[in-house]
Structure 1
Amino acid sequence: MRPLTKRLGDVIPAPALVVPEPAVTFTLSPDTTTWLAALPGAGDENGGVRLELDDAAGLGAEGYRLAIAGDGVTLRAATRAGLFWGVQTLRQLAAGDGVLPGGVIEDRPRYAYRGAMLDLARHFFTVDEIKAHLDLLIQFKINHLHLHLTDDQGWRLEIPGWPRLTEIGGGPGTGCDGAGPGFLTLAEYAEVTAYAAERFVTVIPEIDMPGHVNAALVAYPELTVDGQPIAPRTDAEVGYSSLVAGKEETYAFVEAVLKTVADATPGPYLHIGGDECLSTSPEDYRAFLARVLPLPAKYGKRAIGWHEIAGVELPADTVVQYWRPEAEAPSVVASGRQVIMSPADRVYLDMKYDENTPIGLDWAGLVPVARSYDWDPAHRLAGLPEESVLGVAAPLWSETLRSPADVQYLTFPRLPAVAEVAWTPQSGRDWASFRDRVAAFGPRWEAAGVNYFRSPEIDWPSA
């Protein structure tokens, strides 16, 4: 049962170091609470709260030191990003009555990459819906938003010179069951990336290839094996489509797309997919990636791919994203590359919580909240040193999603669990403590209209 009195450590993710002063509190005014939500910057001060750029604590690029005394609050960090994450801690502590428990927090992330993925290809979400989702993620110090922009069922980003990609691939009848049409113009994509950057979140665009390309082949039949039109598909099957490794037209198309996406993306990463290429022969897969994997670097980006790409020779700075739980993935370890950990049986948010979950899938098993919480990224792949783990990311595939409410239902409360895995040192994590802390978000989510899952694992406050 959650204690009735606020504690300094009642934060998600759990801070690295908490030194409480139980006899001390400081109360924020409503105006100051509003100010904290309005992206204050270094040197700002309001209602006894001061934000300072100062690296004296040596807490790194995203760390911060928060001191709450009876006469005011001082938040210090080496960077504006560190200040921003410290403000999220303050906002959590102030929730409800504005009373802050006294003491000192010194905090820094375990991993630099703390991500969430949203699949726009199988069901499209608008700019405003993406922004609203991002606002919920940043509370838990998520700093990377991976957008899955293309797949068999839809193409969701404007590419100048290739108009049918979005005219057809983003038009009516696209998405799973034909229920998710739409696409982002380049101006809208820029709006998303700018909004994210203001909140210290890096957007990672994914153009999946050489598989998961039926929408592109429907739009441009000249990219098919025989140049003949093919039928659109809105089912959820995978592995049946492929770009043709032996056609030069393929590489002209791919380079045009990747250059456009790289030019439009301020962040350092470009995700090229590479998964579930069941209709691409091993020889063609290697040939295709040999031509394509150098392209992100050509246009100033660092390539990321799902872990199947580790079976080929990789450019030195390529990042491998591990996902299939049954795969021992020795090639991932042998590649010597940095790894983003996304094991589906732990962090795929589209998996059902239990057998009664009305939406979601279960091919990786049921994933209750405790299962998303109770694992260590450093020990998931035997032989992978912790320094090779770039971070953790939680994908949300949209085969069964039809609304932002569906996104929220599968995201919360699992996403806070994954966020704590990515931020908090393993020695500082405890399931019983997390259960108590996440329970406090129930009333907050209800007040905000967030459609969260009231997991029976959590002792939620009474309605």
Structure 2
Amino acid sequence: MSPVMNTVIPRPSSVLGTGRSFELPADARILVQPNAPEVAQIGEFLAAALRPATGLALPVTAGAAQERGTIHLTTAAADPALGAEGYELLVAPHGVLLAAPRPAGLFRGVQTIRQLLPAAVERRTVAPGPWTLPTGVLRDAPRFAWRGAMLDVARHFFPVADVKRYLDLLAYYKFNVLHLHLTDDQGWRIEIKSWPRLAEYGGSTAVDGAPGGYYTQEQYADLARYAAERYITIVPEIDMPSHTNAALASYALLNCEGEAPALYTGTAVGFSTLCMGKETTFRFMDDVLGELAALTPGPYLHIGGDEADSTSPEDYQTFMRQVQAIVQSHGKTVVGWGEIAQAPLTPGTMVQHWRQDLTPQAAASGHKVILSPAGKTYLDMKYDEATPFGLSWAGYVTVQDAFAWNPGAYLAGVGEDAVAGVEAPLWTETIPTFAEAEFMLFPRLLAVAELGWSPAAGRTWDEFRSRLAHHGPRLEGLGVNFFRAPEIDWPETL
């Protein structure tokens, strides 16, 4: 295997290794394209990532041409065929050149540079060198535009620091979407100023009576900025018309009978529903989605739509007509779970598949599909019967299960052209801490990263598991509480 390629996840599109190496000298610099503030910001990101372990100063300076001993970042004269997130990386014995048509591609390439350096570079204290990269030419671009992960902060709440850590880890593996499941029966996690009790009261608890919490609008906007700096889009979800007990408990007027139910801390689903017979419901939906749209720089709002067992078919159709119009009136694109395909969908609405549903019918009508099959990508599923937390209703999901499927040919009637991409959800009914979340996410999340980014041709389990083994020391350096999956030959000393 080429020395350039043998540790990078997700696997690059193409690589030509030359069998030599470049070593960062003591006076190494990061050279950035002049008069390009966004490129300079990416250079500072790389320098900040490398300084703690290397102990090098790594100043970021402007320059138009490659210089010896530098890592040069530029969008000048890059091949436009690489697209919005693609890049080309040239590592020579005298220095490194990273070129991309767009800054997003430079940022993705920076993660490859990090992964080509020794694993100890991810430590936060000075480690012994030398700091070398294998030489060669690497061209890379993503297979799918949507490479997502979903974090359920409604069943258990995760504070801003945890979400930022997750964003950092997602960026390292070239994800570009973080879907935040902000509301459910057990908790409402986003401040809505026109309906303040949603967060203040509806956000006060969690599953099994665990402490609640919510993001202020300022905190949410800060998360969106932090994500954007990592070229990740936040997709917020307000789950409706079911999964709404926290809202119904907060405001009696949202209930058909005008009486608020008690807050809920169990794990059942499908018992709650918004009242489609009240004009107040539609004002509520417009207010909530309007405030959230104004806070969200990305183009998407996720409206849930799943497991609406207590909503009549007629009311569900009413809900879908109204909610799609509301989202579009606020300038956003609708995303919903697979059940939304049972209703007429407006142009542009995206369908997120998770179980047997009408996704192929939606694809046939021109709607893009996000693939999150529960038996492959639901990372709250146990690895095996001995996993200390998680669920198993969709079966056990090993690392190989998460890797060994093809999104472009997974659903009959849904060809690759209809697939926007893949997303790995983490539901948190049984996961109250982020350390436990990391255990369930890693290393399976790396398999999903590979599916979303890497070309389908040439993918094999044995080749992937070999590369994955090299990431044990990286994950340890990053401080990740990952599962030492027995099917991976991890190094004896991590």
Which residue of 2 is the match for residue 84 of structure 1?
107
Count residues in correspondence.
Answer: 456
Select 1:127's aligned residue among 139, 160, 166. 160
Question: Is the 2:86–2:100 Cα contact (8 Å) retained in structure 1?
Answer: yes
Higher mean Cα deviation, 439-448 or 327-336?
Answer: 327-336
* 2:142 paired with 1:99: no
Which residue of 2 is the match for residue 251 of structure 1?
282
Deviations 1:407-462 (A, max 9, x none): 10011000010000000011032211111111112122223321100000100011
* 2:412 paired with 1:382: yes
SS at match of 2:445: helix
Inter-partner Cα distance in structure 2 for 1:41 and 1:143: 28
Distance 1:158 1:330, change over 3 A: same
* 2:398 paired with 1:368: yes
Which residue of 1 is the match for residue 11 of structure 2?
14
Inter-partner Cα distance in structure 2 for 1:299 and 1:42: 40
Aligned-pair CA distance for 1:292: 1.1
SS at match of 1:115: strand
Name the aligned partner's letter for residue 417 of structure 1: A
Deviations 1:291-320 (A, max 9, x none): 111111111111100011111111101010
* 2:71 paired with 1:38: no
Inter-partner Cα distance in structure 2 for 1:448 and 1:91: 12
Question: Is the 1:16–1:428 Cα contact (8 Å) retained in structure 2?
Answer: no
Aligned-pair CA distance for 1:7: 4.1
SS at match of 1:58: helix
Select 1:25's aligned residue among 21, 27, 36. 21
Distance 1:282 1:401, change over 3 A: same
| 1:374-413 equivalent positions in 2, closer than 5 A | 374-413=404-443
| 1:125-204 equivalent positions in 2, closer than 5 A | 125-171=158-204, 174-204=205-235
Question: Is the 2:360–2:414 Cα contact (8 Å) retained in structure 1?
Answer: no
Name the aligned partner's letter for residue 182 of structure 2: L
Which residue of 2 is the match for residue 52 of structure 1?
74
Name the aligned partner's letter for residue 332 of structure 2: K
* 2:260 paired with 1:264: no
Unaligned runs of 5+ in 1: none
Question: Is the 2:377–2:423 Cα contact (8 Å) retained in structure 1?
Answer: yes
Higher mean Cα deviation, 10-19 or 43-52?
Answer: 43-52
Which residue of 2 is the match for residue 68 of structure 1?
91
Question: Is the 1:310–1:335 Cα contact (8 Å) retained in structure 2?
Answer: no
Aligned-pair CA distance for 1:147: 0.4
Which residue of 1 is the match for residue 374 of structure 2?
344
Inter-partner Cα distance in structure 2 for 1:226 and 1:99: 68
Higher mean Cα deviation, 158-167 or 439-448?
Answer: 439-448
Inter-partner Cα distance in structure 2 for 1:136 and 1:250: 38
Relative to the length of structure 1, the TM-score reads 0.95
| 1:212-231 equivalent positions in 2, closer than 5 A | 212-231=243-262
Name the aligned partner's letter for residue 243 of structure 1: L
Higher mean Cα deviation, 5-14 or 294-303?
Answer: 5-14
Question: Is the 1:412–1:452 Cα contact (8 Å) retained in structure 2?
Answer: yes
Distance 1:440 1:27, change over 3 A: same
Distance 1:435 1:229, change over 3 A: same
Inter-partner Cα distance in structure 2 for 1:329 and 1:317: 14
Deviations 1:11-64 (A, max 9, x none): 000000011101x21012576698625387996989411011033262111100
Query: Percent same amino acid at aligned positions?
Result: 52
Aligned-pair CA distance for 1:99: 1.2
Relative to the length of structure 2, the TM-score reads 0.89
Inter-partner Cα distance in structure 2 for 1:42 and 1:349: 43
Which residue of 2 is the match for residue 116 of structure 1?
149
Question: Is the 2:359–2:369 Cα contact (8 Å) retained in structure 1?
Answer: no
Inter-partner Cα distance in structure 1 for 2:62 and 2:85: 14
Question: Is the 1:28–1:94 Cα contact (8 Å) retained in structure 2?
Answer: no
Aligned-pair CA distance for 1:328: 6.6
Name the aligned partner's letter for residue 458 of structure 1: I
Inter-partner Cα distance in structure 2 for 1:417 and 1:8: 16
SS at match of 1:415: helix
Select 1:237's aligned residue among 268, 271, 274. 268
SS at match of 2:288: helix
Distance 1:354 1:404, change over 3 A: same
Deviations 1:305-341 (A, max 9, x none): 00111111111010100011x4474433344200001
Name the aligned partner's letter for residue 118 of structure 1: L
Question: Is the 2:351–2:359 Cα contact (8 Å) retained in structure 1?
Answer: no
Name the aligned partner's letter for residue 48 of structure 2: A
Name the aligned partner's letter for residue 117 of structure 1: M
Select 2:480's aligned residue among 450, 457, 460. 450
Question: Is the 1:9–1:18 Cα contact (8 Å) retained in structure 2?
Answer: no
Deviations 1:206-239 (A, max 9, x none): 0000010000000001111200121111111100
Which residue of 2 is the match for residue 273 of structure 1?
304
Question: What RMSD over aligned residues (CA atoms) do the two structures have, in Å?
Answer: 1.9
Unaligned runs of 5+ in 2: 31-43, 50-59, 121-128
SS at match of 2:321: helix
Higher mean Cα deviation, 176-185 or 33-42?
Answer: 33-42
Name the aligned partner's letter for residue 169 of structure 1: G
